Structure 1
Amino acid sequence: MKVLIMSDSHGLTTEIDEITNRHLDETKLMFHCGDSELSKEHSGLRLFKGVKGNCDLDSELPNELIEDLNGKTLYMTHGHLFNVKASLMNLKYRALEVNANIVCFGHSHIAGAEMIDGILFINPGSIRLPILRKQKTYAILDLKERIAKVTFFDVNGQIIEELSQQFILE
């Protein structure tokens, strides 16, 4: 199962549409980790499950989302409520509370994926204002049983090899 993950688009619409259309046929789900700055009903987000970021004014978006992905539990939040710019510790504790195997978050605008105590943490970065790199990024998670392949792309659809990794989930 492939899922598209993006975050921190901060008002962009054309780029969201281009990314959506680029991966529409290959992904089963699309997630936005907050700070779209668009309403929940905006046409660009029609295919996305999303959460509220600190810059989102739409109160209808939830602060967190839990989704079953073929027997693995994905937990998504923006990250500002867990102080992710300082540490992932608070977010890890929340992941443990909800028995998450995979955590998707944004807020820091820093793209990356890492395994912490058996939980896969994915931050797709930002398609508008990246930090620590020039590329504006998003990610695709390809989940096949216990294998989780995370591929990062720049906003133009080019794979970023040095960020992309494969993990084994417990």
Structure 2
Amino acid sequence: MNILIVSDSHGLTEELKVIKNKHMDEIDHMIHCGDSELSIAHNAIEDFIIVKGNCDIEKRFPEEVIQEIDGYRLLVVHGHQYGVKHTLMNLHYRAAELDADIVCFGHSHILGVEIIAGKLFINPGSICLPRKRIEKTYVILRLENNYANISIFEYEKGELTELKQRFPLPKK
């Protein structure tokens, strides 16, 4: 199962379309972790599981989404409501409350992937305004054989193979 994860595109549309088209044959799901700054009907975010970010004015986006994918429970949030720029503790508590295995979030524009108390946290960075890196990043998460294989892509250069990671997941 392959999942494309983006966040913080802040009004970009062509870039989202390019990313979708580039990976359409290899992905099963697409997630946008908020701050698209687009309307719910915009074709650039069509088919995305999407949440509302602090810069989104679209009221119909949910604050969070719980999605079962390939036997794993994913929590998708933007992150501003949990203070992710300062700590992941509040978001970790929310993930524990919901029994989420994987947490996808944005807000900080900082690329990061880590396991906290057995839960996988993924921030794909930003394809618009990255922080702490110059690369405009997004992630493809591959779920296979109780492992999460993380591939990080830079919008213009493609896969950053030196950042590829593999994490064990609980057996489902």
**TM range, normalised to the smaller chain?**
over 0.9
Deviations 1:26-47 (A, max 9, x none): 0000000000000111010112
Paired with 1:52 and 1:15, the residues of 2 have a C-alpha distance of 19
Q: Which residue of 1 aligns with 2:160?
A: 160
Matched with 2:11 is: 11
> CA-atom RMSD, angstroms?
0.8
Alignment-derived partner of residue 42 in structure 1: 42
Cα shift readout 1:20-70 (whole Å, capped 9, x = no counterpart) = 000111000000000000011101011211000000000000000011111
- Structure 2 CA distance, aligned partners of 1:123 and 1:5? 8
CA drift of 1:77 comes to: 0.1
Q: Secondary structure at 1:44's aligned position in 2?
A: helix
SS in 2 for 1:10: coil
- CA deviations over 1:63-94 (Å, ceiling 9, x no partner): 00011111110100000000000000000000
Matched AA of 1:88: L
Task: Give the fraction of aligned pairs with identical amino acids, expressed as a percent.
Answer: 52
1:96, CA displacement in angstroms?
0.3
Unaligned 5+ residue runs, structure 1? Answer: none
State whether residues 52 and 62 of structure 1, in contact with CA within 8 Å, keep that contact through their aligned partners in structure 2: yes
Tell me which amino acid in the other structure corresponds to 2:133.
Answer: R
2:55 is matched with 55
Q: CA deviation at 1:132?
A: 0.5
Q: 3-state SS of the aligned residue for 1:16? A: helix
How far apart, CA to CA, are the structure 2 residues paired with 1:145 and 1:7?
27
Query: 1:162 deviation in Å?
Result: 3.7
Matched residue pairs, number?
Answer: 170
Q: CA deviation at 1:156?
A: 2.1
Superposition map of 1:62-141 within 5 A: 62-141=62-141
The one-letter code sitting in structure 2 at the alignment partner of 1:32 is H
Equivalent-residue separation in structure 1 for 2:162 and 2:111 (angstroms): 11
Contact 1:77 1:106 (8 Å CA) reproduced = yes
Structure 2 partner of 1:33: 33
Match of 1:2 in 2: 2
